[in-house]
């Protein structure tokens, strides 16, 4: 028998999203309603080593997450919950 546990959350339950630099461990936290842009570099690492992503898929994915989360948090009647 396999037992699985999930953490369920409404979008409004998400109070902060943390992006962590894989190189130095610096954490950049954003409230979904106030997250206006995806950082292009780590504030702690020197350029160019501090680049957190290339101009490719990572940036587009994070920006999509930012935009979707921002809209979902503002919705008073979401049609979904998030499970982890
Ligand atoms: Zn860093």
Q: How does DSSP assign 22-62, residue by residue?
A: TTT--EEEE-TTT-----SB-SSSPTTTTB---SSHHHHHH
Between the CA of 68 and the centroid of ligand 1 the distance, in Å, is: 26
**pLDDT band at residue 5, thresholds of 50, 70 and 90?**
very high
DSSP symbol at 77: S
Q: Are 79 and 5 contacting, i.e. CB atoms less than 8 angstroms apart? A: no
Tell me, in angstroms, the distance from the centre of ligand 1 to residue 74's CA: 31
More confident residue, 56 or 44: 44
Which of the four pLDDT bands, split at 50, 70 and 90, describes residue 16? Answer: very high
Q: What is the mean pLDDT of residues 70-84?
A: 84
Q: Determine the pLDDT at residue 81.
A: 84
Span from the CA of 83 to the centroid of ligand 1 (angstroms): 29
Determine the distance separating the centroid of ligand 1 and the alpha carbon of 45, expressed in angstroms.
4
Centroid of ligand 1 to alpha carbon of 73 (angstroms): 28
């Amino acid at each position: 028998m396999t037992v699985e546990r999930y953490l369920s959350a409404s979008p409004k339950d998400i109070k902060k999203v943390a992006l962590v630099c894989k190189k130095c461990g610096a954490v950049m936290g954003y409230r979904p309603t106030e997250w206006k842009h995806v950082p292009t570099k780590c504030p702690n690492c020197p350029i160019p080593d501090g680049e957190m992503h290339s101009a490719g898929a990572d940036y587009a994915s994070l920006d999509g997450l930012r935009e979707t989360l921002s809209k979902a948090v503002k919705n008073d009647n979401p049609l979904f919950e998030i499970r982890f």
